[in-house]
Structure 1
């Protein structure tokens, strides 16, 4: 895989652009803090890109399935670069509306680029190397998040916002150039001009019968829910723990611990799930995530909060590459674009709802009660999946016994 030119180009571009993305996110927060007093309006502006992605996801999925993935990534790359100029206008004029346009363009490009990249990986990497590729992908994004946020923080102190977004623009240009040198052979898809207009429910109706037949895909979707419960409130919980311990420095420790443990988790995923991703192991990982969430009721103890975030990073680093590999291998390639687009759309909706719930619960019942409630919910989800898996296993064994 390390001799695979296409894979190296894609990962290099992803690493550079992801670092630039996180530098830009730091810039977004700084600009909003200076120009928008209302926290609610700040949240709406940040969510604008997610919202437009939700509406475009069905159309994006169908276009990705019909079209050349490389061309989609190139067009999305041009859109990202163009978006930075809207941010330049926002900074020069101190008009938030230009930032709204910037956020919308970034959201639209992400709606196309993220599913396209996930559908391209199986085209440039051998099937037996997909788990390694997804692990590397996750490690690069995690590392980029750590480096990008740290770099953005340093740059805010010593440089202007113009300079900060220029770094982001350069990173997007590097991604675009690396994409141009990728060579992927794709069979042209048949296009029927009489196809009905894309919609969420129509696309879901096409995907549901196919997904229902792939039990690993179904289990994988539900096994991610406990991780989403933790991830959606990640930043809010870090802030709350920092206030609880009266220690601003704990934020960096928690982020770093989680990131390092993600790296270790991806290594474990390659060791234990390369040949056969057993559901029993994946369920064990989900129970670890639930345990990590519940254990945060002791977050007033610095060592315990670090252990909790470390456990989550370890489990998430193991689970996500495995589940993504299952999606890429068990979902037919003709449906990849629609599947990953709809999944991304649903993920965004779930994340926003859970993030709002996290903020609400932190304000009303407090961190301790909230993490116990979320942890118990995760245990219930994992237990129901385990119960259904055992029932299904018994039914299959009975069928085998009857055929003998």
Structure 2
């Protein structure tokens, strides 16, 4: 077991700059998951409206999506290390602002502050992901992304659970203060890291000083580079159906398992663990990067099949296993597409490409959840029937992907081999 972990231990031990960037991610992500349940608790404390509770989720997703194009432009034009520090400091101040929500009349402030927090996250995330290739070697890049994905899943699993207990025992105010402190610690780690970055040349800086020009050039570059566009689409295609399936786990726990928050916690833990283990397994199965695009389609098929089995099952044990396997495939897809984008995209476009990927992911996930909730509201499907339907559609998407996108990738790989690349 120790030998399998050795590459990741050596990476953290020997690469000081990646270690500091990784630690900033660990601390700030834990703070995010730790504090999110406190926001939900704040809304339910001053309102019993299910609509207002659902609205905070919509605000989070739409704020990320709407600001992503501009965020990508910023992360390519300015120093990413400074931007990440700036975002962390402001996010800490925003979280402290939630202490001002003390009644139903001030509840609107939670939505405004959450929107601002997500806009800053829309800058921080592509800046962080774009910086990983700049603090790692070619050989370290895959290990670095696997470690980041595994860390996210562990933090997701622990942060939600600990955050729920902390909200209950300590109260929302103290949770928000601890969340703000986590952003301060994250800022310190980034401050201590050296993060190289290739800057735009003076001509490009002048040409793109209008943000709309810079954003348009980013989109044009992406659509003119099919070998970059292919991995950019992977997460969006996956979550187009997986987003609804993950959302429906809430209803499975309530209506099928009759276990409420306990069942949901177990199902989401299986999801988090699968997301973390998947990239490690995927790296061993898909050793050759030239097969990764095909592997992404295979992961979609595999996740779809396993979620269909979730829909057919009524046993908690079986559901936990199938959710674990489905999200292991999702985690493998996530890391493969991220690494390909990092390798294939020039540094001066990387922020805009990753923000576009995040935009597609967020829009696909939002649409997926809205469609699923509408179908259930209209009682056109039972929860298990709808899970099976979305699962089959995810598997079909994987089949279509491998008959279309993968074929174009194989042509690209043959041309690359012929050119000696």
TM-score calculated relative to the size of structure 2: 0.86
Q: Distance in 1 between matches of 2:182 and 2:353?
A: 28
User: 1:11: Cα distance to partner?
Assistant: 1.1
Deviations 1:49-86 (A, max 9, x none): 43333333222211211111101101101110110221
Partner residue in 2 for 1:41: 52
Question: Root-mean-square deviation (CA), in Å?
Answer: 2.7
Q: Distance in 1 between matches of 2:17 and 2:75?
A: 19
- Is 1:241 the counterpart of 2:253 in the alignment? yes
Deviations 1:212-264 (A, max 9, x none): 43436415624652344223441432333332122233222222222222232
Q: Distance in 1 between matches of 2:409 and 2:130?
A: 31
- Equivalent of residue 30 in structure 2, options 19, 28, 46: 19
Q: Which runs of 4+ in 1 moved over 6 A?
A: 393-400
Structure 1 SS opposite 2:45? helix
- Equivalent of residue 230 in structure 1, options 237, 242, 255: 242
User: 1:291: Cα distance to partner?
Assistant: 0.5
Q: Distance in 2 between matches of 1:170 and 1:399?
A: 51
Partner residue in 1 for 2:280: 267
Partner residue in 2 for 1:293: 307
Partner residue in 1 for 2:270: 257
Give the stretch that moved more between structures: 174-183 or 341-350: 341-350
Give the stretch that moved more between structures: 180-189 or 314-323: 180-189
Partner residue in 2 for 1:381: 397
Q: Distance in 2 between matches of 1:319 and 1:309?
A: 15
1:4-403 paired onto structure 2 within 5 Å: 4-91=15-102, 95-191=106-202, 192-193=205-206, 195=208, 197-199=210-212, 203=215, 206-215=218-227, 217-218=229-230, 221-222=233-234, 224-248=236-260, 249-278=262-291, 279-363=293-377, 364=379, 365-388=381-404, 392=408
Contact 2:300–2:397, Cα closer than 8 Å, also in 1: no
Structure 2 CA distance for partners of 1:267 and 1:311, relative to 1, 3 Å: same
Structure 1 unpaired stretches of 5+: none
Deviations 1:190-233 (A, max 9, x none): 3544547434x973564345444343641562465234422344
Q: Distance in 2 between matches of 1:154 and 1:29?
A: 13
Q: Distance in 2 between matches of 1:194 and 1:387?
A: 40
Q: Distance in 2 between matches of 1:238 and 1:45?
A: 17
Q: Distance in 1 between matches of 2:392 and 2:216?
A: 30
Q: Distance in 2 between matches of 1:357 and 1:93?
A: 30
Q: Distance in 2 between matches of 1:227 and 1:61?
A: 21
Structure 2 SS opposite 1:128? coil
User: 1:336: Cα distance to partner?
Assistant: 0.6
Structure 2 CA distance for partners of 1:183 and 1:232, relative to 1, 3 Å: farther
Q: Distance in 1 between matches of 2:100 and 2:297?
A: 49
Give the stretch that moved more between structures: 97-106 or 222-231: 222-231
Contact 2:301–2:395, Cα closer than 8 Å, also in 1: yes
Give the stretch that moved more between structures: 33-42 or 22-31: 33-42
Q: Distance in 2 between matches of 1:67 and 1:272?
A: 38
User: 1:92: Cα distance to partner?
Assistant: 7.4
Give the stretch that moved more between structures: 282-291 or 21-30: 282-291
User: 1:24: Cα distance to partner?
Assistant: 1.0
User: 1:275: Cα distance to partner?
Assistant: 4.3
Structure 2 CA distance for partners of 1:143 and 1:40, relative to 1, 3 Å: same
TM-score calculated relative to the size of structure 1: 0.89
User: 1:187: Cα distance to partner?
Assistant: 3.8
